[in-house]
Chains A and B, each alone.
Chain A
Amino acid sequence: MGTYVVTGGSSGIGAAAVELLKSDGHEVINVDLRGGDICANLATQEGRDTAIEGIIEKCPDGIDGIICNAGVSGNCGNLELVISLNYFGTVKLARGLFDLLQKKNGSVVVTVSNTISQGTGRMDIVDLLNNVGDEQRICNIVKTMDATNQTVGQSIYMATKYALARWVRRISTSWAARGVRVNAVAPGNVRTAMTDSLSDAAKFAVSALPIPVRYGSDALMDPEEIAESMRFLLSNRARGINGIILFTDGGTDALLNSEKVY
Chain B
Amino acid sequence: MKAIEKYVEALKNCDNKALSMCFAEDGTLRDYCPNATGRQEYHVYGREAIDMFFKNKFTFRQYLISEAEIVNDEQAEFIASIGGYYVMCIATVRRVDENGLITRLTVRPK
Question: Residues of A with Cβ closer than 8 Å to B?
Answer: 204-205, 207-210, 212, 215, 255-260
Contact = CB atoms under 8 A, between A and B. Distances in A.
B49 interface: yes
Q: Which of B40, B41, B53, B56 has the most CB of A within 10 A?
A: B56
Contact of B43 (A210, A212, A215, A258): A258
Contacts of B55: 208, 210
Contacts of A256: 53, 56
A208 B59 contact: yes
A42 B53 CA distance: 37
Contacts of B60: 205, 208
B48 A212 contact: yes
B40 A215 contact: no
Nearest to B59: A208
Interface in B46-85: 48-49, 52-53, 55-56, 59-60
A259 B52 contact: no
B44 interface: yes
Contacts of A207: 59
B59 A205 contact: yes
The 8 closest A-B pairs by CB, nearest first: A208-B59, A210-B52, A259-B40, A208-B56, A215-B48, A258-B43, A255-B52, A255-B53
Contacts of B49: 212, 255
A259 B56 contact: no
Contacts of A208: 55-56, 59-60
Contacts of A259: 40-41, 43
A205 B59 CA distance: 8
B59 A257 contact: no
Contacts of B44: 255, 258
A210 to B, nearest CB: 3
B59 A215 contact: no
Contacts of A204: 59
A213 to B, nearest CB: 11
B41 A215 contact: no
A255 B56 CA distance: 10
